[in-house]
Structure 1
């Protein structure tokens, strides 16, 4: 079966990888790029499947779920893989009729919420049997007639917030129990990308491709502030992390400004621009006082000291380290590593899943 893939669809796929400047990123068909044979002893790596994106850990820590869009050439539907988080072995799998990208899990661990980015929807999947139990499809269409891309999903107080990749973008608010759309926050700027909720400020932070950080009050679902930390300089802000103890908000840009910004979470003032180059996913580890950043172009994952911002460690994971997930105890870091797209939207091999033991 031939799958029609619009320019926006590929854009969504790559913005989930976090790098719009590579949006139809092309390379000649050559042998798959692989990580070096000699890797750190604290690292486990496994070829898993095409189209790996975001991950979620079961609350009990006994299952690692990985969203997969599968292939973009002649492949219909996607998968959700269930792995043993200690060994990375597959312990379950769900075949889905739509492709999967962003992911969140309920506090009870009984439901996965997965964005179906190319079709403009979000699905609720029962973790007990792997079945899709409910789904909402958003009605918005761009000028080409394609759905707005549903990128990241954030679960907050029984509500799902989903960023819509469009120009202008939107933020959909969905009742997580009924899977009914309750609100659409309009005028969210070009390409809504990252989402983060801060317990400290009781506000939702939204990144977009126009270089803005939006501050949203989740009680009213209104945009209260619009920060542009780099001013008129071109920026495509992507993903967030927060240090609640110091009130720092970290936001990445892998393709335009190529930096990680450290902002004051209350004012939006720039505290520092980290000179780390292209920066995609970011996580803050309060247990170890470290910051982790994926460098998609450089093929590396960095560990930074959260006070001095000095690089403490670096893992080479070519070709394209993508999403990050940190265990609740702060001692294990999971990474998805993507292959490059060829001109026909195929890749040269499966994407990888990586487990890093931060204690070794």
Structure 2
């Protein structure tokens, strides 16, 4: 979100090299992109320190974004910020005792789940009261680094299964990633599913089809039965660094970002021990898979270091943040042609969508960990 899957920085602040380097420090500044459109009504607002994932709540008509906080936890604590979706002003601040990175929203149950990537835990926030109501510890430390406990897995993205009263959290490790399954009624760990390879990073749920998809950083996608949690299919795909996933449910297609980081290629060899792994793609692209059998439908070059895909099925669009390019790529979901690239320097990171208006919200990181980071509001055009 240092070293943990990419030192090019997806979450920032992790220092344990046993996890492939997925949450690294921010990369060097990028020049303002010469290509693309700025869009007539794009808004951008500085919000706080070290911003990561966001979620839009139709129920509350609010954007929630998590801040991992600054080096000084007293003056710059980790927190969830509630934003007005019209002008991005901060409406509320919800302090977190542990640094937050990933988020998952259960709007019907009035809850926001926040992944504490470095502590192998999930913080539960009640959005009716804007208060923390619990912390679910998923694993115990495996060793100490001075006063700092080191856990067996990192947590990146989360997925809520409201129908089955579960929260899914891939536990990323260089050797032996797992899926943590939390019962959201009891806020207790229900099960740990092993066997997800090196660097389980992306996750998306097909609620209607009852399938859960998990991707990793060695070119694999797993399809799990959401009821039984059995791995029903495993695909070796024509991509390597499948960092994040989204699902186009109407077309039954998985949308994956293939990062293309040389550092991650080296980490795969050295930390995961995959010395015979042969690269399958060039990276820096979005790859589309058919959910029936995992075959590649399309492979589309984007800007450098694509991070997060987001599907707007209603309007037939796919959005992709390109961290090192400093752009947001907008694709046509029918044929995957590029509609436009939007300049969002320095490092656009995570995405969320207002499904009613088509407005997209983007967290944007900065090269310096001491800098305040921003959220952009991009209306549908």
Shorter chain as denominator, the TM-score bin is 0.7 to 0.9
TM-score, normalized by length of structure 2?
0.82
Does the 8 Å CA contact 1:201/1:266 hold for their aligned counterparts? no
Give the aligned length. Answer: 339
Tell me, which stretches of 5 or more residues in structure 2 are unaligned?
A: 13-19, 262-282
Taking the aligned partners of 2:100 and 2:154, their CA distance within structure 1 comes to 12
Identify the range of structure 1 (165-174 vs 142-151) with the bigger mean alpha-carbon deviation: 142-151
Name the residue aligned to 2:350: 323
Name the residue aligned to 1:339: 366
Tell me, which stretches of 5 or more residues in structure 1 are unaligned?
A: 1-5
Taking the aligned partners of 2:339 and 2:52, their CA distance within structure 1 comes to 26
Residue 290 (structure 2) pairs with residue 264 (structure 1): yes
Q: Alpha-carbon deviation of 1:137?
A: 1.1
Taking a change above 3 Å as real, the CA distance of residues 67 and 172 of structure 1, as seen in their structure-2 partners, is same
Taking the aligned partners of 1:353 and 1:237, their CA distance within structure 2 comes to 24
Taking the aligned partners of 1:125 and 1:51, their CA distance within structure 2 comes to 19
Residue 242 (structure 2) pairs with residue 237 (structure 1): yes
- SS of structure 1 residue aligned to 2:9: helix
Q: Alpha-carbon deviation of 1:92?
A: 0.5
Name the residue aligned to 1:216: 224
Name the residue aligned to 1:202: 210
Taking the aligned partners of 2:45 and 2:113, their CA distance within structure 1 comes to 24
Per-residue Cα deviation, 1:73-124 (whole angstroms, up to 9, x for no partner): 3436411000111110111001111111111122325211111111110011
Taking the aligned partners of 1:305 and 1:338, their CA distance within structure 2 comes to 26
Name the residue aligned to 1:3: none
Identify the range of structure 1 (199-208 vs 329-338) with the bigger mean alpha-carbon deviation: 199-208
Identify the range of structure 1 (251-260 vs 117-126) with the bigger mean alpha-carbon deviation: 251-260
- SS of structure 1 residue aligned to 2:118: helix
Taking a change above 3 Å as real, the CA distance of residues 225 and 283 of structure 1, as seen in their structure-2 partners, is same
Taking the aligned partners of 1:26 and 1:287, their CA distance within structure 2 comes to 34
- SS of structure 1 residue aligned to 2:242: coil
Identify the range of structure 1 (178-187 vs 281-290) with the bigger mean alpha-carbon deviation: 281-290
Taking the aligned partners of 1:33 and 1:142, their CA distance within structure 2 comes to 41
Q: Alpha-carbon deviation of 1:154?
A: 0.7
Does the 8 Å CA contact 1:33/1:339 hold for their aligned counterparts? no
Name the residue aligned to 1:87: 87
Q: Alpha-carbon deviation of 1:61?
A: 4.9
Match runs of 1:136-285 below 5 Å: 136-141=136-141, 146-147=150-151, 148-156=153-161, 157=163, 158-166=165-173, 167-199=175-207, 201-230=209-238, 235-256=240-261, 257-277=283-303, 278-285=305-312
Identify the range of structure 1 (175-184 vs 241-250) with the bigger mean alpha-carbon deviation: 241-250
- SS of structure 1 residue aligned to 2:255: strand
Q: Alpha-carbon deviation of 1:261?
A: 0.8
- SS of structure 2 residue aligned to 1:238: strand
Taking the aligned partners of 2:6 and 2:287, their CA distance within structure 1 comes to 23
Taking the aligned partners of 2:246 and 2:344, their CA distance within structure 1 comes to 21
Q: Alpha-carbon deviation of 1:139?
A: 1.8
- SS of structure 2 residue aligned to 1:177: coil
Taking a change above 3 Å as real, the CA distance of residues 79 and 263 of structure 1, as seen in their structure-2 partners, is same
Does the 8 Å CA contact 1:59/1:108 hold for their aligned counterparts? no
Taking the aligned partners of 1:22 and 1:79, their CA distance within structure 2 comes to 18
TM-score, normalized by length of structure 1?
0.86
Taking the aligned partners of 1:301 and 1:149, their CA distance within structure 2 comes to 27
Q: Alpha-carbon deviation of 1:190?
A: 1.3
- SS of structure 1 residue aligned to 2:69: coil
Root-mean-square deviation (CA, aligned residues, Å) is: 2.6
Taking the aligned partners of 2:204 and 2:218, their CA distance within structure 1 comes to 17
Name the residue aligned to 1:14: 9
Taking the aligned partners of 2:129 and 2:205, their CA distance within structure 1 comes to 30
Name the residue aligned to 1:75: 73
Does the 8 Å CA contact 1:70/1:78 hold for their aligned counterparts? yes
Residue 57 (structure 2) pairs with residue 58 (structure 1): yes
